[in-house]
Amino acid sequence: MEINVYPHRVLCFPGPHELYFKNLSKRKQVMEKKENNRKLRVCVATCNRADYSKLAPIMFGIKMEPEFFELDVVVLGSHLIDDYGNTYRMIEQDDFDINTRLHTIVRGEDEAAMVESVGLALVKLPDVLNRLKPDIMIVHGDRFDALALATSAALMNIRILHIEGGEVSGTIDDSIRHAITKLAHYHVCCTRSAEQHLISMCEDHDRILLAGCPSYDKLLSAKNKDYMSIIRMWLGDDVKSKDYIVALQHPVTTDIKHSLKMFELTLDALISFNKRTLVLFPNIDAGSKEMVRVMRKKGIEHHPNFRAVKHVPFDQFIQLVAHAGCMIGNSSCGVREVGAFGTPVINLGTRQIGRETGENVLHVRDADTQDKILQALHLQFGKQYPCSKIYGDGNAVPRILKFLKSIDLQEPLQKKFCFPPVKDNISQDIDHILETLSALAVDLGGTNLRVAIVSMKGEIVKKYTQFNPKTYEERINLILQMCVEAAAEAVKLNCRILGVGIGGGIIHQHELIHGSSFCAAELGHIVVSLDGPDCSCGSHGCIEAYASGMALQREAKKLHDEDQLLVEGMSVPKDEAVGALHLIQAAKLGNAKAQSILRTAGTALGLAVVNILHTMNPSLVILSGVLASHYIHTVKDVIRQQALSSVQDVDVVVSDLVEPALLGAASMVLDYTTRRIY
C-alpha cells in the first residue's frame, strides 16, 4: 500500500514501522570513547561586559569539569578601559585566572577607531594564540573585537565555537555576526529561527547546537530576596520596586547622527516622565563619546531623578531589570534577557528590529519625537507581562558542555558548507565517475522481506528477497543480515550506500519532512478503531493491522485453518505458505468471508485516507502496491460517505510505478543525505 498526496504529497509505504535503520551518531561515539583521553583545551575570549554575561556561565561549567577541560581566559576590548568601568575586575571577582590581557582599543569612538581596533587586535592575537595553543576558541556574538578573534583563530587553524550565531538584529552587527558564522566551525544558537538561519547560510547541521542563551541559565535561577537592597544601592533609598526605569541605549554605527538625536529625545522624554531612572553608559561603538556628551549636556549625571553609571555587575543588573517598571533603549538585553521576567520594554529605533521578542516589547521604530517616546512610556510603565522563554529554558550550559565533549579533534579542520544544488561542475572526479550514490531500501511484506540497492536515478541495481519469518526477532535478524549482504555487494557494484530507508514519508513543497526524531509520517499507524486487531507496534486498530500484506496473510491463515479459505477452482500446495494473494484469489472466486475481509481492510484504509484529507487537503491520492487495485473502490466509497464535502472531490488513482515501496523507502535516504535546502 502506498498513498501519494499531491500537491502536499504524502507517501505511505507498507510494512511495520517499528524498525528504523539509523547510523549511530559519530558524535556519540566520540563522547563514549575519546581516542587518547586528552583534556580539551578551551580558550574563552571576552571583549566587554555584555558578552561576559553570556560567556561566564559556560566558563563556570568548564571550570567545574577539570577532568575534561583546561580553561584559558583572554580579556581584551572595553573590559580594560576605565571609561567603561574596567569590567575585567568582575572576571577576577568570579575567581577566573585571566591568562592574557590585550589592550586592543584605539580611542576615538568613531568608525576609523573601530577599524583600527580590529587591526590592533589582529596584530596582537597571533602571539597569544601561539603561546596558548588552544584546541578550540569560544567567541560570542557580533562585536568588532569578536570578528578579530574569529579571524585570527581561523587563519591559525584553531577551531572556533560561535555563540549566538544566526540571529538578526538590524545594524552592522548583523554583517559582523554572519561573518563570524562563516569563520566558525561549530555553532551554538539560542532560538529555532536562528538555527534555521544558520542552515540557510549553508552551515553543517551536524555542527549546530540549539542550546538556548547561556545567560538564561542564570536568569531563570536568579532568586534574590534582598533585591530591594540592590535597588536602593543604585537608585536611592526612597525608590520602590516597579517604580523606576532602566535606560540603556547604544549608538547605531550605520546612522550615528540619527542615533544621537534619538538619544536626546529619549532623555527629554524621561525627564518629562519624572520617574527615577538608572542610565547606563553606552558601549564603545562609534558615536558613544558623542552620546556621553549629550548626557552631560542634559545634566543627567547631576539630575535628582537620574543615576548615570558605567557598569553594573550582571547579578545585580538582573535584579534591577527584573523589578523595574520599564526598560527603555536599544540594547539586545532589553529584547532578549528582560523577557524572562516579563518586565515591559520599549525598544527604540532599528538596532534590534530583527530580533525575536516576547509580548513585553513595544517597538518605537521611528523614535523621531519626544511625544512618541513619552506616549510609549505611559503605555508600558508598570505593566507585568508573561515571562518569555524564547531565548532559553535555563539548561543551555549542560548542552554546550556535552557538545564540547563531542568534538572530534581528529576530524578534518577544513569547514564544509552545505550549499544548495547548482549546475553540475564540468570538471570530473574519477571516484564520482566510478561510484553510484545509492540507498538500501527495505520492504516488509506479508509473505516476503525485500532489500534492494536503489540508485539516485531510481534504478533498482539489485534486489534480495527472503520469506518473512514468523517471529519478530527472526524478522529483525533477517533484515539486518540482508542489509549487511546488500551493503557488501554494493561495494562490488561501485555503489556508495548513503543509508537504509524504511517507512512512510510526508513531502511538503518538494521536500521530505523527517521530524524531530526521524519518525514523521507513521501513516500506517493511524488508528481507525479503538478495539481493532493487535498491531505490531503494540497498539490496536492501526491501518497496518487491517490493510497490510501481513494483516491479510494473518486473516488468510485463519480462514485456511478453519477450512473456509479454499473454494472451487482453488488449491494451495502443502509446501506453499498461505498468504494475502490466496485471500484475494478466494475473494475473486466468490468466497464471501474473503470478500468481507478485503472490504474491511479497504474501509480501514479509506478512513485513514479521510483523516489525511482532513489534515492535508491534497488534490490527488495515489494508491500503489499489489493490493491497491483491490482497495481503490472501497476507499472511494468511504471518502464519499465519511469525508467533508470540501475534500470529496479529491482524485484517487492507482499508481503504475514499478516497485513503489522500495523506491519510496530509498527516497527517504536519498532525499535527506543529498538535500541542501531545508
Residue 19 C-alpha cell reads as: 524498525
| Gap between the Cα atoms of 181 and 178, Å rounded | 5
The pLDDT value recorded for residue 230 is: 94
Q: Predicted confidence band at 426 (pLDDT cuts at 50, 70, 90)?
A: low
pLDDT higher than 50, residue 299: yes
How large is the average pLDDT for residues 400-417?
93
How large is the average pLDDT for residues 192-200?
94
pLDDT higher than 90, residue 499: no
pLDDT higher than 90, residue 274: yes
Residue 29 C-alpha cell reads as: 561515539
Q: Predicted confidence band at 291 (pLDDT cuts at 50, 70, 90)?
A: very high
Q: Give the rounded percent of residues in the chain with a pLDDT score beyond 90.
A: 53
The pLDDT value recorded for residue 224 is: 66
| Gap between the Cα atoms of 123 and 14, Å rounded | 63
pLDDT higher than 70, residue 433: no
pLDDT higher than 60, residue 8: no
Q: Are 410 and 35 in contact (CB under 8 A)?
A: yes
The pLDDT value recorded for residue 571 is: 85
pLDDT higher than 90, residue 354: no
The pLDDT value recorded for residue 11 is: 31
pLDDT higher than 70, residue 434: no
Place of cell 549566538: 164
- In three-state secondary structure terms, 603 is helix
The pLDDT value recorded for residue 61 is: 96
pLDDT higher than 80, residue 548: yes
The pLDDT value recorded for residue 5 is: 36
How large is the average pLDDT for residues 485-508?
83
Place of cell 562490488: 492
Highest mean pLDDT of the ranges 241-245, 465-469, 494-498 = 241-245
Q: Are 134 and 41 in contact (CB under 8 A)?
A: yes
Q: Are 311 and 84 in contact (CB under 8 A)?
A: yes
Q: Predicted confidence band at 85 (pLDDT cuts at 50, 70, 90)?
A: confident
- Give me the half-sphere count of Cα atoms (radius 13 Å) on the Cβ side of residue 259: 26
The pLDDT value recorded for residue 12 is: 34
Q: Are 609 and 2 in contact (CB under 8 A)?
A: no
pLDDT in tens, 599-628: 999 999 999 999 989 988 888 888 877 788
How large is the average pLDDT for residues 52-72?
96
More confident residue, 298 or 2: 298
Strand segments, DSSP code E, in 251-402 are: 276-280, 306-309, 326-329, 345-348, 361-364
**Average pLDDT, rounded, for the chain:** 86
Q: Predicted confidence band at 419 (pLDDT cuts at 50, 70, 90)?
A: confident
Residue 229 burial (10 A CB sphere; 0-12, 13-18, 19+) = exposed
pLDDT higher than 50, residue 388: yes
More confident residue, 579 or 9: 579
The pLDDT value recorded for residue 503 is: 63
How large is the average pLDDT for residues 239-244?
96
The pLDDT value recorded for residue 376 is: 95
pLDDT higher than 80, residue 425: no
Contacts of 459 (CB under 8 A, 6+ apart): none
| Gap between the Cα atoms of 337 and 319, Å rounded | 12
How large is the average pLDDT for residues 323-344?
93
Q: Which long-range contacts (CB under 8 A, 24 or more apart) does 122-125 make?
A: 122/148, 122/151, 122/152, 125/149, 125/152
The pLDDT value recorded for residue 531 is: 87
The pLDDT value recorded for residue 377 is: 96
The pLDDT value recorded for residue 9 is: 29
Pairing of strands 620-624, 2-6: antiparallel
How large is the average pLDDT for residues 265-288?
93
pLDDT higher than 70, residue 19: no
Residue 79 C-alpha cell reads as: 573590559
Q: Predicted confidence band at 364 (pLDDT cuts at 50, 70, 90)?
A: very high
Q: Which of 61-70, 124-133, 188-197, 448-457 has the lowest mean pLDDT?
A: 448-457
Residue 318 C-alpha cell reads as: 538582573
| Gap between the Cα atoms of 328 and 469, Å rounded | 69
The three state secondary structure string of 18-65 is CCCCCCCCHHHHHHHCCCCCCCEEEEEEECCHHHHHHHHHHHHHHHCC
Q: Are 513 and 520 in contact (CB under 8 A)?
A: yes
| Gap between the Cα atoms of 212 and 188, Å rounded | 8
The pLDDT value recorded for residue 183 is: 97
| Gap between the Cα atoms of 452 and 439, Å rounded | 8
For 559, list phi and psi in degrees, rounded to 5.
-65, -40
The pLDDT value recorded for residue 678 is: 34
Highest mean pLDDT of the ranges 9-18, 328-337, 399-408, 545-554 = 399-408
Local structure of residue 197 (DSSP, 8 states): H
Q: Which long-range contacts (CB under 8 A, 24 or more apart) does 95-98 make?
A: 96/59, 96/63, 96/71, 97/73, 98/73, 98/74
How large is the average pLDDT for residues 61-90?
93
How large is the average pLDDT for residues 295-307?
94
| Gap between the Cα atoms of 39 and 63, Å rounded | 12
Q: Predicted confidence band at 361 (pLDDT cuts at 50, 70, 90)?
A: very high
The pLDDT value recorded for residue 26 is: 47
The pTM (predicted TM-score) of the whole model is: 0.58
Beta bridge partners of 45: 74
pLDDT higher than 90, residue 472: no
pLDDT higher than 50, residue 311: yes
How many helices (H) and strands (E) the chain has is answered by: 23, 23
How large is the average pLDDT for residues 136-156?
95
Q: Give the neighbor-by-neighbor strand order of the sheet with 620-624.
A: 2-6, 620-624, 651-654
The pLDDT value recorded for residue 469 is: 85
Residue 265 C-alpha cell reads as: 529625545
> Distances from the Cα of 344 to the Cαs of 244, 321, 338, 393, 455, in angstroms?
12, 9, 8, 20, 57
Place of cell 576615538: 108
